[in-house]
Amino acid sequence: MSRKRLSSVLTMGLMGLVPFVVAAQPAAAASSVTSQYIDNVSNLLLAVALPITIIVEGVLFYAIWKFRKADEAKPTQENRRLEITWTAATAVVLLFVGLVAYGAMGSPYVLASQEDSQQMMEQPDTTVVHVDSYQWSWQFHYQHNGTNFTSENLVLPAEKQVVLRITSRDVLHAVHIPALGLKKDAFPARTTYIATEINEDSVREEPYVLYCAEFCGAGHSNMLADVIVKDQSEYEQWASEQAQQAREEASGSSSDESSNATATATNETAMNATATDETAALAAPSV
């Protein structure tokens, strides 16, 4: 009797899930391809998990409310079928979670392997930024028409494939741009990659925030940087201005300035100083 009622509660609960799953639309206005994938997963998970959580908590409270003044306890009987049923039901729900997640993980914009990133960097249309982290700030190295320059802000073009090559000079850091759905740890002696494409709608004057998300010591919570998303023409303009400036500085510089310029101009040299042989070798084609 009560066993039936319990299973009917469970069935109703699972039925109740259906509209939520159906209603879970793909994220309407995601900020980047990456966050589109991730928001999709996140929303689907929420659509499934929220009702399950509410139902299970509800059953818990209902059981307490209903049986707190019961006259006597009914003896416990083993019920193998019920055990197997809910084990299987949980497995199905978790399998669903796994499949949803796995679907998104296939995209290199979510999880870029080293090979994926190398291939993307070779494509001529890709904007590559070398994100260099140190206690406690960021530097962003660009290459524009053969000229290297460095920026204090991460400026990115919209509607264009972007690869961030991430390194650290000292301890671990992590690039964390929640508004664009981007995150990856930064290591000394290792290069990690983020690949994405930012949507046109994300172009705005107000900068997004890049946080350091891996504990790195005293300055950790101040290790922020601005992320500015520009549309392609504005980005081109900004990049050529920066490159122009860098060229002028390099040509009209005194000796100490030129050493500074070498550091920034030879992006790859800076890389090699920290990268393992393997990553350096892999990075070579992108020069």
Q: Is residue 130 a contact partner of residue 267, using CB atoms and an 8 Å limit?
A: yes
From the DSSP assignment, how many helices (H) and strands (E) are in the chain? 8, 10
CA–chain centroid gap for 187, Å, is 16
Residues contacting residue 134 through CB under 8 Å, at least 6 positions apart: 168, 169, 170, 173
CA–chain centroid gap for 77, Å, is 48
User: Smaller CB distance to another protein: residue 177 or 261?
Assistant: 177
Pick from 212, 225, 250, 270 the residue near another protein by CB under 8 A: 212
Residue 28 interacts with another protein (CB under 8 A)? no
Pick from 8, 16, 29, 90 the residue near another protein by CB under 8 A: 90
Residue 217 interacts with another protein (CB under 8 A)? yes
Residue 79 interacts with another protein (CB under 8 A)? yes
Site for another protein in 103-162 (CB under 8 A): 104-105, 110-114
Pick from 15, 22, 23, 64 the residue near another protein by CB under 8 A: 64
Site track 254-283 with another protein (rule: CB under 8 A), x = hit: ----------------------x-------
User: Smaller CB distance to another protein: residue 78 or 256?
Assistant: 78
Pick from 11, 19, 26, 53 the residue near another protein by CB under 8 A: 53
Which one of the spans 120-128, 212-220, 228-236, 265-273 is the region binding another protein (CB under 8 A)? 212-220
Comparing CA positions, the residue from 33, 195, 35, 36 lying closest to residue 116 is: 195
**Nearest approach, Cβ of residue 163 and another protein (Å):** 13
Site for another protein in 174-193 (CB under 8 A): 174, 176, 178-179, 181, 183-185, 187-190, 192-193
Distance CA 245, CA 239 (A): 10
Question: What are the tokens at 51?
Answer: 């009702």
Which one of the spans 137-145, 210-218, 226-234, 264-272 is the region binding another protein (CB under 8 A)? 210-218
Distance CA 86, CA 131 (A): 48
Distance CA 275, CA 124 (A): 23
Identify the three-state secondary structure at position 20.
helix
Identify the three-state secondary structure at position 184.
strand
Residue 25 interacts with another protein (CB under 8 A)? no
**Nearest approach, Cβ of residue 205 and another protein (Å):** 17
Residue 21 interacts with another protein (CB under 8 A)? no
DSSP 8-state symbol, 39: H
Pick from 4, 22, 25, 74 the residue near another protein by CB under 8 A: 74
Distance CA 236, CA 172 (A): 32
Which one of the spans 84-92, 138-146, 244-252, 259-267 is the region binding another protein (CB under 8 A)? 84-92
CA–chain centroid gap for 257, Å, is 37
